[in-house]
Amino acid sequence: MKVLHINAGNETGGGRTHIIGLLKALNQQPDMDAQLLVYEDGPVAASARDAGIPVHVLAQQGKFDASVLKRTVQYINDNHFDVVHTHGPRVNLYLSVIKKWVHAKWVLTLHTLPKVDYLNKGLFGKILYPISTWTLSQPDEVFLITRRYKPFLLSHGVPAKKIRVIFNGLEFSDTFTPAQKQPEFTLVNVARLTAQKNPRLLIEAANELDFDFKLHMVGDGELQAPMEKLVQQYGLEDKVIFDGFQTNVKPFYQHADVSVLSSISEGFPTVLLESADNGVPAISTDVGGVPDIIARPEFGWLVANQDQQGLVRAMKAAHVAWARNQLTGMGIQFHDYAKEHFSTTRLATNVRSLYTALLQGK
């Protein structure tokens, strides 16, 4: 089976991790040739090359360079791909336009709801939101990374028979060394500083804590300046550290007691799987597929969406568990569960079976 995954190429977050991990695992399946096509020679292409994944760049002169459409059709058909698998709004739109000329089945993975993709994007977002929503009804099948996306698709005319739910996966480390208790209670937030990730909620909650702590915020984004100002306003400069975007986040997990995610919306957050990979229990708002990851109380704490006091209570409970030396044991259980249920090998096996059923018309 020959499969082509397509992404714009500028993804730096969990979407990139998902794409590269899935492609790598698919190519370890028998009789599978999985390749990558991107429109920018950026971080996704670099990660693919590092992972030994065949990657082709169709250079595009800006997002509105329509010449790429014809070249995409030609590349797909000339290379006789059986399945085209797209990731991201721009690529989904391109395939919606050219699909009648493409000699392959088309599947789409929905990583984020359109309303989140275009959150706080002004007029640009208002124009693109309905277009992006329309593209979701165009492929042969839509893969969802959380069950919570399904009602949205059904309400926008996507037939239930086209919808499949696949959870994200992570290539878990071959060797496991759980993070050890830190001398000072330490939390890590690996997330972009954007409205979707809601860093203000986290900082507001941290301001209410009545014990010593360190909070590392690993990521950048348009809200970095106002969040730094908020930290200064509360006098938390010695407690909240902005570490910026990091290509390697493992050291931050290894020197943390708990990871924390305060998002108003998520799909199936890879950062929680990374937390589990490092044996670090997690605190997260109850959004998207988070309850499938933090599936038991011994893995961490679930907090209602945008519930500041709930987040405060969870961080206080984690601090008590830290003082009682309970977090390392929780992290080990979290790791074992996540590795069993959310590996890229398991993801690739599920995806391959869906490809096969689609090609066989089942």
Task: Report how far residue 126's alpha carbon sits from residue 109's, in angstroms, rounded to the nearest whole number.
Answer: 22
pTM of the prediction? 0.91
What's the average model confidence in pLDDT over 101-126? 86
Same fold, 2-171+343-359 and 186-341: yes
Average pLDDT over the chain reads: 95
* CB neighbours of residue 112 within 10 Å: 22
For residue 144, is pLDDT > 70? Answer: yes
For residue 322, is pLDDT > 90? Answer: yes
Phi, psi of 314 (to 5 degrees): -65, -40
Phi, psi of 140 (to 5 degrees): -70, -35
- Domain residue ranges in the chain: 2-171+343-359, 186-341
Q: Is 186-341 assigned to CATH 3.40.50.2000?
A: yes
> What's the longest Cα–Cα distance across the chain?
64
For residue 12, is pLDDT > 90? Answer: no
- Contact in structure between 285 and 260 (CB atoms under 8 Å): no
What residues contact 324, with CB distance under 8 A and at least 6 apart? none
What's the average model confidence in pLDDT over 253-262? 98
For residue 152, is pLDDT > 70? Answer: yes
Band (pLDDT 50/70/90 cuts) for residue 185 is very high
Residue 119, both tokens: 């959150």
What's the average model confidence in pLDDT over 265-281? 97
CATH superfamily of 2-171+343-359: Glycogen Phosphorylase B; (3.40.50.2000)
87 - beta bridge partners? 7, 109
